[in-house]
Structure formats: structure tokens, C-alpha cells
Amino acid sequence: MKCPKCGSTNVTVNVIQQTKLVDKHHGIIWWVCIGWYWIPIKWLFLTVPALIVKIFIPKRQKIKQKTKSVCICQNCGHNWRA
């Protein structure tokens, strides 16, 4: 492994484990235009059946874990994805 910045071979490779949590946030405009009526509709048509399904069918959870390697140059401090 060679640093692309300074050419040093004094590079350490770190394996980072990532768990991705996708969190959606809506802006104020979304709430004014869509949110106030979409949420009850969504709740009624999606959440309620989903809850009923959840009661009868145990949910199988999927844990998505990503591992990525990050190389860090000990010479200049440059880091990049392997």
C-alpha cells in the first residue's frame, strides 16, 4: 500500500464497521403542503395494517452492516478508502 499523496509506504489500514441508520427528515414546507394530511392517511392505510401484520407475523429484522477499509498514511496523515 502506497500513499497517493506523498508516496510513503508507511500506511495503516483500518477496517471500520458501519451500521447505517436511515433517518428521514422533512422540512417545514413538506409539513405545510403534504405532512398534515399525508401522515393520517399514511397512518391509516400503512401503519394500522402494518401493526396488525406485526402482531400476527413476527418481524424478522435485518441488520445491515457494512465494513469499509480506510487507509491512513502515517507520514502525511492522508486518508482514503481502500
Residue 68: CB minimum distance to Zn ion, A: 19
The window from 17-25, 54-62, 63-71, 73-81 that contacts Zn ion (CB under 5 A) reads 73-81
Question: Cα angle at 36 between 33 and 37, to 5 degrees?
Answer: 95
Q: Where are the alpha helices (DSSP H) in the chain?
A: 28-30, 36-42, 48-56
Of 63, 79, 62, 60, nearest to 16 by C-alpha is 79
Among 35, 71, 72, 75, indicate the residue that binds Zn ion (CB under 5 A). 75
Q: What type of residue is 37?
A: Y
> What's the farthest any 2 CA atoms get from each other in the chain?
60
Residues numbered 7 to 26 that lie near Zn ion (CB under 5 A) are 8
Site string for Zn ion, 19-58 (x = CB under 5 A): ----------------------------------------
Interface residue list for Zn ion (CB under 5 A)? 3, 5-6, 8, 73, 75-76, 78
